[in-house]
Structure 1
Amino acid sequence: MRLQPDEDQRALRDGVRELLARRFGPRELRDAVERPGLLDRRLWRELGAAGFFALRLPEDDGGVGLGLPEAVLAFEEAGRALLPGPLVATHLEAGRVPGAAEGHAVVTAPMGGLVEWLRAADEVRGDTAGALPMRSVDPLTPLHRLPASAAPDPVAVLLTAAEQLGSAGRMCELAVQHARSREQFGRPIGTFQAVQHLCADMLVRTRTARAAVHAAAVTADPVDVHAARLLADEAAVRGARDCLQVHGGMGFTWEFEAHLHLKRAWVRTYRAGPATESEELMAAALLDGDP
Structure 2
Amino acid sequence: MDFRLTEEQQDLRAGVRDLLAGRYGREALRASVDSGGALDRGLWRELGGAGFFALRLPQPDGGVGLGLPEAVLVFEEAGRALLPGPLVATHLAAGTVPGAAEGTAVVTALDLDGPLVAHLADADAVLGVPLLPSGEPVRSADPLTPLHRVAAPGSAVAAYRDEGALLTAALQAGSALRTVELAVRYAQEREQFGQPIGAFQAVKHLCAQMLVRAEVARTALYAAAVTADPAEVAGAKLLADEAAVRNARDCLQVHGGMGFTWEADVHLHLKRAWVRARQWRTAGEAEEALAAELLTAAR
CA contact (8 A) 1:168 1:236 kept: yes
1:210 pairs with 2:218: yes
Partner of 1:30: 30
In the other structure, the counterpart of 2:101 is: 101
Describe the superposition over 1:48-96 as per-residue Cα deviations: whole angstroms up to 9, x where unpaired.
Answer: 1100000000000000000000000000000000001110010000111
Q: CA deviation at 1:288?
A: 1.1
Question: How far apart are 1:112 and its partner, in Å?
Answer: 2.6
TM-score w.r.t. length of structure 1: 0.96
1:1-291 superposed matches below 5 A: 3-113=3-113, 114-127=116-129, 131-146=135-150, 148-152=153-157, 153-291=161-299
| Structure 1: 4+ residue segments shifted above 6 A | none
Deviations 1:123-148 (A, max 9, x none): 22234757432101101011123464
Of 68-77 and 95-104, deviating more is: 95-104
Q: Choose 126-135 or 64-73, whichever is displaced more.
A: 126-135
The question of whether the paired residues in 1 share the 8 Å contact of 2:237 and 2:281 is answered with: no
**Matched pairs, number:** 291
| CA separation of 1:271 and 1:224: change in aligned 2, threshold 3 A | same
Structure 2 residue runs of 5 or longer lacking an equivalent are: none
| Preserved CA contact (<8 Å) 1:161 1:232 | yes
CA distance in 1, matches of 2:82, 2:89: 16
State the Cα distance separating 1:204 from its structure 2 match. Answer: 0.4
Q: Runs of 5+ in structure 1 lacking a partner? A: none
Aligned-partner SS, 1:145: strand
Equivalent-residue separation in structure 2 for 1:130 and 1:173 (angstroms): 40
Q: Secondary structure at the match of 1:281?
A: helix
Residue 2 and residue 48 in structure 1: after superposition, are their counterparts in 2 closer, same or farther (change >3 A)? farther
Distance in 2 (CA, whole Å) between partners of 1:256 and 1:110 is 31
More deviation in 34-43 or 5-14? 34-43
Give 1:187 deviation, angstroms. 1.1
Higher deviation after alignment, 174-183 or 45-54? 174-183
Paired with 1:285 and 1:130, the residues of 2 have a C-alpha distance of: 38
| Post-superposition offset of 1:181 | 1.8
**Could you tell me whether the CA contact under 8 Å between 2:99 and 2:105 is conserved in 1?**
yes
Write the distance in 1 (CA, Å) between the matches of 2:236 and 2:3.
Answer: 13
1:118 aligned partner, one-letter code: L
Equivalent residues of 1:3, 1:211 under 8 A apart? no
Kept after mapping to 1: 8 A contact 2:165/2:237 = yes
Deviation, structure 1 residue 115:
1.1
Pair 1:266–1:257, CA change in 2 (3 A): same
- Aligned-partner Cα distance in 2 for 1:202–1:76: 17
The 10-residue stretch of structure 1 (170-179 or 145-154) with the greater mean CA deviation from structure 2:
145-154
* Letter of the structure 1 residue corresponding to residue 141 of structure 2: V
Residues 116-173 of structure 1, C-alpha deviations (whole Å, 9 max, x = no match): 1111011222347574321011010111234643455100000000000010000000
C-alpha separation in 2, matches of 1:52 and 1:151: 22
- TM-aligned CA deviation for residue 109 of structure 1: 1.3
Native 8 Å contact 2:172 2:240 kept in 1: yes
SS of 1:132's equivalent in the other structure is strand
For 1:179 and 1:242, locate their aligned partners in 2 and report how far apart those are by CA, in whole Å. 12
